[in-house]
Amino acid sequence: MSNSDGASKPLGGRVALCEPNSVRANYYNELLVQLGAPKVPIYPPDRFKEMLSEEKVETLVVTCVDALHDLYIVPALEAGVRILTEKPMTTDIDKCRRILETVQRTGQHVTVTFNYRYNPVHELVKRTIAEGKIGKVLSVHFEWLLDTVHGADYFRRWHRQKTNSGGLMVHKSGHHFDLVNWWIDARPVTVAGMGKLAFYGDKAGNEHGWAKDYERARGNQAAKNDPFAIILEDDETLKKIYADAEGEDGYHRDQNVFAAGIGIEDDMAVLVRYNTGATLSYHLTAYSPWEGYRVMFNGSHGRLELEVVESTHRSASDPLTTGGQIHGTAALPNPGPVSVKLQRLWEPAQELPVEYEHGDHGGGDKRMLNVLFGPLPGESLDTGDASKQSADERDGTYALAVGLMANESFKTGKFVTFDSLGLGI
């Protein structure tokens, strides 16, 4: 959740920040002041437990590198703090098991902020299926396309290493696996998949003619005319939290997407079987010319089709390729249509009326923030069907598990079962 959304929420107040980079932490404090809130104490990670106690923290929001989530979730559970973590809940089986065991031992819970559940169009899909409009769901086909701005961004940053992010199966597709679990009210049983680094990286980049010879964009002439490069100084926020802060920790936000050493896939196909007998065929492409997704549900009494075109195309000369436009908090240029089509057996198809915003994850961000913190002053409450949208550690585990089983199948070429993970749920 962004600071600009959270700073003015009426429920409670900010009491502290835990951040390893002081430049970045000071930026967040200045942002609080701009939004009319006071500055707060800043704690380094090694004083996290002290922060929980000294500042009497009641709610913790976890938004760090994915692989580090458990380092904050577990002690916060033990301290009885309300926990809101971004997805994924964590990145491997051992860390997931540690969180689940702590939940069982403490009786506390973790809220995983799957904001796509709160998207009004996704709620419409959930409601249509739950009302039995297509009967029992027998199979699902799901294709998600990331364009060469959004998709490329995972290959510039810390996400490019599975040790940090779990790969796109965990970091990105976890959203999608959770949606399917939620939509059809089922849990994954068996997974198989194939994945590859087909477009990004040095080998593929040279093969396809896109590669440029530089390590990072900042200060390199070779990046000036590269449509895959991100120029941090062109976006005020990225400049302040990355370019201005890199001298302290050496983190480079603008690495070459066609460099050597990338450890994640960009083209992934997955099969999932659920405890209901339903199956899912899923594909994620991270180098598409357009961005959006298509989901089709085949049921015993009909078919439901969802199509969302976030952006029909991106221009290589488009200057608006940074900040919120990369990751869904701002609307993309060239937005396309959004449709939900219901067709029952022996009947013509019908278009269902949709409510959709291009930006803020389809309108889901505002709804989720309303549920978690209440509305802004003067703002009407808009939560959707909040009682059915909240996700806890079990939901986080099932979404994570599909991604981890897919990653394992990529390596072994074998089907992987949920029971083999030994998670005890």
Task: Report strand pairing: 110-112 vs 82-85.
Answer: parallel
Confidence bin at 175 (pLDDT 50/70/90): very high
* Euclidean distance between CA atoms 115 and 85, whole angstroms: 11
CB 262, CB 155: distance < 8 Å: yes
User: Is residue 370 predicted with pLDDT exceeding 90?
Assistant: no
CB 82, CB 58: distance < 8 Å: yes
Confidence bin at 48 (pLDDT 50/70/90): very high
Q: What average pLDDT does range 69-79 have in this prediction?
A: 99
Annotated domain spans of the chain: 115-200+262-421, 202-249
Confidence bin at 330 (pLDDT 50/70/90): low
Confidence bin at 192 (pLDDT 50/70/90): very high
Query: pLDDT at position 318, please?
Result: 62
Confidence bin at 360 (pLDDT 50/70/90): confident
* Euclidean distance between CA atoms 314 and 333, whole angstroms: 7
User: Is residue 1 predicted with pLDDT exceeding 50?
Assistant: no
* Euclidean distance between CA atoms 134 and 226, whole angstroms: 47
Q: Both tokens of residue 243?
A: 């370019």
Query: pLDDT at position 355, please?
Result: 82
Query: pLDDT at position 4, please?
Result: 37
pTM: 0.93
The CB density around residue 337, as the number of other CB atoms within 10 Å, is 11
User: Is cis: bond before 335, omega within 30 of 0?
Assistant: no
Closest CA to 276 of 352, 382, 416, 180: 180
Domain 115-200+262-421 has CATH 3.30.499.10: no
SS3 per residue for the chain: CCHHHHCCCCCCCCCCEECCCHHHHHHHHHHHHHCCCCCCCEECHHHHHHHHHHCCCCEEEECCCHHHHHHHHHHHHHCCCEEEECCCCCCCHHHHHHHHHHHHHHCCCEEECCHHHHCHHHHHHHHHHHCCCCCCEEEEEEEEEEECCHHHHCCCCHHHCHHHHCCHHHHCHHHHHHHHHHHHCCCEEEEEEEEECCCCCHHHHHHHCCCCCCCECCCCHHHCCCCCCCCHHHCHHHHHHHHCCHHHHCCCCCECCCCCCCCCCCEEEEEEEECCCCEEEEEEEEEECCEEEEEEEEECCEEEEEEEEEECCCCCCCCCCCHHHCCCCCCCCCCCCEEEEEEECCCCCEEECCCCCCCHHHHHHHHHHHHHHCCCCCCCCCCCCHHHCCCCHHHHHHHHHHHHHHHHHHHHCCCEECHHHCCCC
User: Is residue 338 predicted with pLDDT exceeding 70?
Assistant: yes
User: Is residue 78 predicted with pLDDT exceeding 60?
Assistant: yes
CB 80, CB 103: distance < 8 Å: no
Using alpha carbons only, what angle is made at residue 185 by residues 277 and 391, rounded to the nearest 5 degrees? 140
Distances, alpha carbon 411 to alpha carbons 255, 286, 414, in Å? 26, 20, 8
Query: pLDDT at position 219, please?
Result: 93
User: Is residue 279 predicted with pLDDT exceeding 80?
Assistant: yes
Query: pLDDT at position 387, please?
Result: 53
Q: Helices 393-412 and 93-106 meet at what angle, rounded to 10?
A: 160
Confidence bin at 155 (pLDDT 50/70/90): very high
